[in-house]
Chain A
Amino acid sequence: DAGVTQSPTHLIKTRGQQVTLRCSPKSGHDTVSWYQQALGQGPQFIFQYYEEEERQRGNFPDRFSGHQFPNYSSELNVNALLLGDSALYLCASSLVRVRSHEQYFGPGTRLTVT
């Protein structure tokens, strides 16, 4: 049973650039959520996608955008990168019909902005 996968593992970008991170959900899951985890902190919710639409959004600027594809995979895009965007970006998948909506996480993408 394939778990949540993310690519790339690590990424180094320069301030002002744009980045795209990718996520494939756990087999059978239909919902993808993205979280940002700064060093030494708990994950912060960015947004959630279901049926190719953004269903819920956290307190993140419009520079953060996403997409969900028909096969349920997802992308996170960040424009005009700031030094403060350096973090571990975590993708989590879940099944909408499960009431508790427990989420399963991928290994993350470590983004460093210089």
Chain B
Amino acid sequence: AQSVTQLGSHVSVSEGALVLLRCNYSSSVPPYLFWYVQYPNQGLQLLLKYTSAATLVKGINGFEAEFKKSETSFHLTKPSAHMSDAAEYFCAVSSVEDTGRRALTFGSGTRLQVQP
């Protein structure tokens, strides 16, 4: 069974500082990996995805994530935080092994606060 662990339920950074949100996965085979963002009272928006094409993945709004198989990690980063980045971020995985089983398994989320 797959699982996702997001270390740190709350992260606070200053505007302009580096953003680092951590995600580790547990899977016998490297899965597909995703980062989603959720603004208050809204649905989830896809930030970026890893599908084995490249280990460094660039997404929207200046975010990127690096897949590291040896560390089973897929951490999300952004060089310079903006106030508008304040939101809840979710890491998710889906299986590559069984095309009939494509449910996303989500982590518990990390709330990012950006201080002025």
A contact residues vs B (CB 8 Å cutoff): 4, 31, 33, 35, 40-45, 48, 55-56, 58, 90, 92, 94, 99-108, 110
List the interface of chain B (C-beta within 8 A of A): 32, 34, 36, 41-46, 49, 51, 90, 92, 94, 96, 99-109
With A100-B51, A102-B34 known as contacts, the answer to whether A43 contacts B90 (CB < 8 A) is: yes
Minimal beta-carbon separation of A40 from chain B (angstroms): 8
| Contacts A90-B44, A102-B49, A105-B44; A42 near B108 (Cβ below 8 A) | yes
- Give the distance in Å from the alpha carbon of A35 to the alpha carbon of B90 in the complex: 14
Q: Are B105 and A56 neighbours in the complex by a CB distance under 8 Å?
A: no
Contact A33 B51 (CB under 8 A): no
Q: How far is the CA of A31 from the CA of B99 in the complex (A)?
A: 13
**Would you list 24 pairs from A and B whose C-beta atoms are within 8 A, ordered by A residue?**
A33-B103, A40-B109, A42-B106, A42-B107, A42-B109, A43-B44, A43-B90, A45-B104, A55-B100, A56-B100, A90-B43, A99-B96, A100-B32, A100-B51, A101-B99, A102-B34, A103-B46, A104-B46, A105-B36, A105-B44, A105-B45, A105-B46, A108-B42, A110-B41
| B103 near A58: Cβ-Cβ < 8 Å | yes
Given contacts A58-B103, A100-B51, A101-B32, contact A41 B109 (CB under 8 A): yes
Name the B residues within 8 Å of A102 (CB-CB): 32, 34, 46, 49
**A44–B4 CA distance with the chains assembled, in angstroms:** 12
Do B107 and A107 touch across chains, with their CB atoms under 8 A apart?
no
A-chain residues with CB within 8 Å of residue B96 when the two chains form the complex? 99
